[in-house]
A and B are shown apart, each in its own frame.
Chain A
Amino acid sequence: MLKQIEGSRAMAEAIALCRPEVICAYPITPQTHIVEGLAELVRDGRLTGCEYLNVESEFAALSVAIGSSAAGARTYTATSSQGLLFMMEAVYNASGLGLPIVMTLGNRAIGAPINIWNDHSDAMAVRDAGWIMLFAETNQEAVDLHIQAFRLAEELSCPVMVNVDGFILTHAVERVDVPEQIQVDTFLPPFEPVQVLDPRDPVSIGAMVGPEAFTEVRYLAHHKQMLALDAIPRIAAEFKGVFGRESGGLLRGYRMEDADTVVVAMGSVMGTIKDTIDEMRDQGHAVGALHIGSFRPFPLEEVRSALLPAKRVVVLEKNLAIGMGGVLASHVRMALRGHGNRVHTLVAGLGGRPITRASLSRFLAVVEQEPHNTLHFLDLNTEVVEAEIARMAQTRRSGPIAENVLRRMGAGGLL
């Protein structure tokens, strides 16, 4: 049913259509509207057969989810940023125990300095935890990915994280087709756990494992993700069969035909990238874009085949691997190892800084001439950082950097 609806609200309705049996909630910006929406749906009786637990922390939220999922209930939770880091120990635990929990991550920067706005730092912090990590480009896809996530999680017995850009998607009101219950019921069968806590058939889950078996357990976790490389496109195709639209999948190209330059990115920034590419195409530039919909498992082969024809690749990162560069770019470089493509890392949108078409097209015009691989920070205020670097070199007490930067920017009339 087409609705003009806030992203979080649409996701809450889609999650409710998946008939979760236990929802654990703790508020953190910008995830809050999702759990608020679900609370309302449970309270007013539109979502029945569901236990909604308000817990005291994100650590408890995922811990409750671990218990309920292990006891055989379809389980959902959501978080963002610091909350994800606070539940980090349980994040690894959920995947290690093979529990098909679905979690929304309203992507947000990680402090300090504290910042509530969107980037992908939080997701990157748990990239190796063993969760399947999907990224939504639009709110329609966010809705659709949640429905696919339960299928995927329960088919593979593996937790799935649906990444949605904080505020940009969660708080945007736009047109979304929220499916009908009958469609979701057709697509998503009831949860049948592979192993469950039940006095009728006692099992011990979570035993201590020594060096003799730990590698094997980890190998199997990797194997499960490799199976997901097949399952993700298959489930997306089935989804199209039932719901009639393309959504999800491993990756998605945009105007990739004969593109010399391809921008690789994840999430909602694809909208800006596509608009920029349309403009640049009109001006005669051979540019295209590639959206990575599945960051874990990372579709190395598919990325390689999609990018091989391009002369240069610009990986737009909404994260910074401090001391290294970008996380996504290092993955893309690995996909293209041994080939001649130039790969540029473009760190952009950190802590919610707007990624504008003007800055992006300016950068893309530069890389067409740029002979070397580079690490570039989009719209970095070089004057401010150079002044601060000089000051730090002169005085032993560097002080709180963020405050110094803000003071300097304020003095320059920027605040």
Chain B
Amino acid sequence: MPQTGPSQTVKFYQTGTLTVGNRLLDPASRTVQSSESRSNAITCGHRACQGCGEALGARYAVDAAMRAANSQLVCVNATGCLEVFTTPYPETSWQVPWLHSLFGNAAAVAAGVAAAMRVKGRQEVRVLAQGGDGGTTDIGFGCLSGMFERNDDVLYVCYDNQAYMNTGVQRSSATPPTARTATTPVAEDAPGNVFGTGKNVPLIAMAHNIPYVATASVADLHDLEAKVNRAMSLRGARYLHVLVPCPLGWGSASHDTIRLARLAVECGLFPLFEAEHGEITATKPIRRRVPVEEYLRPQRRFAHLFRPDAPHAGEALARIQAMADANIRRFDLLRMSDDRKETA
């Protein structure tokens, strides 16, 4: 199967009709992910935690990119969970050429790989850079912005689990307000992370007028794949921001990863959209809107907001709800929802 590149025999664990990529269907009806000949960029046997959103998001993003690039793909990785759990020497889970350099420079290293491919006349080789929210929104932000500004031919994927999970759950600039982390502990009058002004990297990416920016969630893998496909159909700097819940850092059950990723979208805190050259081209409407409490409550990092005696908890929840409402207004996310039909 030369067109799918490096692959391994796919194990058939999955049963039932609700599993992702159901393999009980006849081959013609299966998704690409559930086909035996699918590309398999990150093999099983890596050391991600149970229920890791990043492992799932990365596998789908890289596999989709690999298919779109006809297997001519090079991956560059920032330091972080994904790097550590896939490459404890002498093992590697990567079936594609893969380079890890440092925490803060994945975008620049990828730009270097893209430059080398261009100068070598190997335009068919595509470059994918990846990092967590720490490596993207904090320490790697300068290099990322430089890559955007030069319009280097790289797809950068940020797997956002909203804190530094690899080092033991410390706050990043993607950590939401009030979230408890190891460096934003909960105290009497300090409920977790601050209400700052936020750092919305997808919107900042859009401000660079790059060809493509999108947000995605591991709760909707077909949407994620479609966005990777769209990104790969374009040249130049492209940015994909994927919300990947982290059971360890969020204090959530490992079987709740997908549910939380979905609730983050449905409450409005994580809007799904696409933008090309700085203009929004598509948003994903919310069909069943939920209050933010429904998303926050299953996560221990927000547990302090739900203690009956917690001071300011009501005010904090109201402010988080206001953030979700602002997103809903900004992206007109309720235009097809049941809520709107009722009120109309």
Which A residues have a C-beta under 8 Å from some C-beta of B?
21-22, 24, 49-51, 53-57, 59-60, 63-73, 75, 89-90, 93, 97, 197-199, 201-210, 213
8 contacts between A and B (CB under 8 A): A24-B112, A49-B119, A60-B142, A71-B120, A199-B74, A205-B100, A206-B83, A213-B89
Q: Is the CB of A67 within 8 A of B98?
A: no
Q: Is the CB of B112 within 8 A of A67?
A: yes
Complex contacts, A66 vs chain B, CB 8 Å: 101, 105, 109, 112
Q: Is the CB of B87 within 8 A of A204?
A: yes
CA distance A206 to B104 in the complex (A): 14
Q: Is the CB of A68 within 8 A of B116?
A: yes
Q: Is the CB of A67 within 8 A of B87?
A: no
Q: Which of B71, B89, B92, B146 contacts A57 (CB 8 A)?
A: B146
8 Å CB interface, B2-17 against A: 5-6
Q: Which of A57, A207, A213 contacts B87 (CB 8 A)?
A: A207
Complex contacts, A93 vs chain B, CB 8 Å: 101-102
8 Å CB interface, B117-145 against A: 117-120, 125, 142-143, 145
CA distance A43 to B83 in the complex (A): 38
Q: Which of B98, B120, B125, B145 contacts A56 (CB 8 A)?
A: B145
Is B76 an interface residue when CB atoms closer than 8 A count as contact?
A: yes
Q: Is the CB of A208 within 8 A of B102?
A: no
CA distance A50 to B146 in the complex (A): 20
Complex contacts, B95 vs chain A, CB 8 Å: 202
CA distance A202 to B98 in the complex (A): 7
Q: Is the CB of A65 within 8 A of B98?
A: no
Complex contacts, B113 vs chain A, CB 8 Å: 67-68, 70-71, 197
Q: How far is the CB of B30 from chain A (nearest CB, A)?
A: 26
Complex contacts, B90 vs chain A, CB 8 Å: 207, 213
CA distance A206 to B117 in the complex (A): 19
Given contacts A55-B108, A210-B89, contact A64 B115 (CB under 8 A): yes
Complex contacts, B5 vs chain A, CB 8 Å: 199
Q: Residues 294-331 of chain B: 1 if any A CB is under 8 Å from the residue's CB, otherwise 0? A: 00000000000000000000000000000000000000
Q: A67-B116, A72-B116, A205-B99 are in contact. List 13 more A-B contacts (CB 8 A).
A: A56-B146, A59-B142, A71-B113, A93-B102, A197-B99, A199-B97, A202-B6, A202-B94, A203-B98, A204-B87, A205-B98, A208-B88, A208-B89
8 Å CB interface, B142-162 against A: 142-143, 145-146, 149-150
Q: Is the CB of A53 within 8 A of B89?
A: no
Give 4 nearest A-B pairs by CB, closest first. A67-B112, A206-B100, A63-B108, A71-B116
Complex contacts, A202 vs chain B, CB 8 Å: 6, 94-98
Q: How far is the CB of B145 from chain A (nearest CB, A)?
A: 7
Kindly report which residue of chain A lies nearest to residue B93, judged by CB atoms. A204
Q: Is the CB of B99 within 8 A of A67?
A: yes
Q: Is the CB of A53 within 8 A of B115?
A: yes
Q: Is the CB of B6 within 8 A of A68?
A: no
Complex contacts, B92 vs chain A, CB 8 Å: 204, 207
Complex contacts, B149 vs chain A, CB 8 Å: 56
Q: How far is the CB of A409 from chain B (nearest CB, A)?
A: 38
8 Å CB interface, B216-273 against A: none
Q: Is the CB of B146 within 8 A of A208?
A: no
Q: Is the CB of A199 within 8 A of B112?
A: no
Q: How far is the CB of B251 from chain A (nearest CB, A)?
A: 26
Q: Is the CB of A72 within 8 A of B101?
A: no
Which B residues have a C-beta under 8 Å from some C-beta of A?
5-6, 71-74, 76-77, 83-84, 87-90, 92, 94-102, 104-105, 108-120, 125, 142-143, 145-146, 149-150
Kindly report which residue of chain B lies nearest to residue A54, judged by CB atoms. B150
Complex contacts, B105 vs chain A, CB 8 Å: 59-60, 63, 66, 90
CA distance A210 to B118 in the complex (A): 35
Question: Which of A70, A71, A75, A207 has the most chain B CB within a 10 Å cutoff?
Answer: A71
Q: Is the CB of B104 within 8 A of A198?
A: no
Q: Is the CB of B116 within 8 A of A21?
A: yes
Complex contacts, B142 vs chain A, CB 8 Å: 56-57, 59-60
Q: Is the CB of B100 within 8 A of A207?
A: yes
Q: Is the CB of A71 within 8 A of B112?
A: yes
CA distance A8 to B12 in the complex (A): 63
Complex contacts, B72 vs chain A, CB 8 Å: 199
CA distance A93 to B78 in the complex (A): 13
Complex contacts, B116 vs chain A, CB 8 Å: 21-22, 51, 67-69, 71-73, 75
Q: How far is the CB of A51 from chain B (nearest CB, A)?
A: 4
Kindly report which residue of chain B lies nearest to residue A59, judged by CB atoms. B105
Complex contacts, A21 vs chain B, CB 8 Å: 116, 119-120
Complex contacts, A53 vs chain B, CB 8 Å: 111-112, 115, 150
Complex contacts, A60 vs chain B, CB 8 Å: 105, 108, 111, 142-143, 146
CA distance A206 to B103 in the complex (A): 12
Question: Which of B71, B94, B146 has the most chain A CB within a 10 Å cutoff?
Answer: B146
Q: How far is the CB of B73 from chain A (nearest CB, A)?
A: 6
Kindly report which residue of chain B lies nearest to residue A212, judged by CB atoms. B89
Q: How far is the CB of B102 from chain A (nearest CB, A)?
A: 6
CA distance A77 to B150 in the complex (A): 18
CA distance A213 to B95 in the complex (A): 23
Q: Is the CB of A72 within 8 A of B120?
A: yes
Q: How far is the CB of A212 from chain B (nearest CB, A)?
A: 9
Kindly report which residue of chain A lies nearest to residue B143, judged by CB atoms. A60
Complex contacts, B145 vs chain A, CB 8 Å: 56
Kindly report which residue of chain B lies nearest to residue A55, judged by CB atoms. B146
Q: How far is the CB of A179 from chain B (nearest CB, A)?
A: 23
CA distance A197 to B113 in the complex (A): 8
CA distance A201 to B94 in the complex (A): 12
Q: How far is the CB of B7 from chain A (nearest CB, A)?
A: 12
CA distance A213 to B89 in the complex (A): 9
Complex contacts, B94 vs chain A, CB 8 Å: 202, 204
Question: Which of B94, B116, B119 has the most chain A CB within a 10 Å cutoff?
Answer: B116
Q: Is the CB of B112 within 8 A of A197?
A: no
Q: Is the CB of A209 within 8 A of B111?
A: no
Q: How far is the CB of B128 from chain A (nearest CB, A)?
A: 12
CA distance A379 to B18 in the complex (A): 81
Q: Is the CB of A65 within 8 A of B97?
A: no
CA distance A93 to B98 in the complex (A): 15
CA distance A51 to B88 in the complex (A): 34
CA distance A264 to B118 in the complex (A): 46
Q: Is the CB of A68 within 8 A of B115?
A: yes
Q: How far is the CB of A374 from chain B (nearest CB, A)?
A: 42
Complex contacts, B119 vs chain A, CB 8 Å: 21-22, 49-51, 68, 73
